[in-house]
Amino acid sequence: MKIGLIGGGTVAKFLSKSINTDCQLPGCTVASVLLRRADAAGEWERRFGIQAFTDIQSFLSSGIELVVEAATVEAVRDCAELVLSAGKDLVIISVGALADGKLYGRLNELCRRLGTRIHLPSGAIGGLDVIHSAMALGQLDEVSLTTRKPAASLVGHQVSEKEVVFDGTAAEAISRFPKNINVAIVLSLAGLGCDETRVKIVADPEATKNTHSIEAVGSFGKMNIQLENEPMPDNPRTSYLAALSVLSTLKKQTECISIG
């Protein structure tokens, strides 16, 4: 399977190294990358053997079969419909774009009409399989997410003790903290939706990592799961688990037996 990447940041480089250099996904190759800056093309070709483009139509015509968006919400808005219209499946990392109900609807309709698919990695959280299973017959009653982050990343100044900076619905959290709460979006999409998923965001001066606690109640029983995420070694702003979840999503596309 030939893979194309949109974006040249930390996750894109992690995937390129894992797939092309370390051969973690036999039978798969990152063949092309879409970049904003032409002067960055040389590094990708030398380091990973990947052909770089700045024009999306040339990128989509480069023989790739699946595209991974590893850029920004804006990139999803600009490129997702073009990717699907070209008959390519799409992995979306910047799931914040799907908080826009109109965009979500257009992408869903394109997939239905063209037979393409969108894959959303689980990102920095777990338990989505339970949430999704409970929703199979609509038998999920409550879902909540409590995210604890280093205070400086949320409030921009020093605080002496834990401070709840937000307590409300996922829809409200997404509008107020668009760069900090992508996990709330994928949790909402898997479960009750943005208006029925509760979110609490805590700024903690003693925290050095992001911690996500998910609780769910339904006919299946109760779930309580907590993850304390390690950052990427070369970029503390990116969760290592989030990058691994993208690699796992790609691996599932090549497996004959699928779990979950």
Catalytic residues: 212
Query: Any idea of the CA torsion for 51, 57, 61, 66, to the nearest 10 degrees?
Result: 80
d(CA 5, CA 30): 7
Q: Is 143 helix (H, G, I), strand (E, B) or coil?
A: strand
Task: Identify which of 24, 20, 26, 22 has the alpha carbon closest to the alpha carbon of residue 5.
Answer: 20
Amino acid in the structure at residue 79: C
Backbone angles phi, psi at 201, to 5 degrees: -120, 125
Task: Identify which of 174, 192, 210 has the alpha carbon closest to the alpha carbon of residue 94.
Answer: 174
All residues at 6 or more sequence positions from 64 whose CB lies less than 8 Å from its CB, including other chains: 2, 3, 4, 31, 32, 88
Report DSSP letters for 39-65, one per residue: GGHHHHHHHH--EEESSHHHHHTSS-S
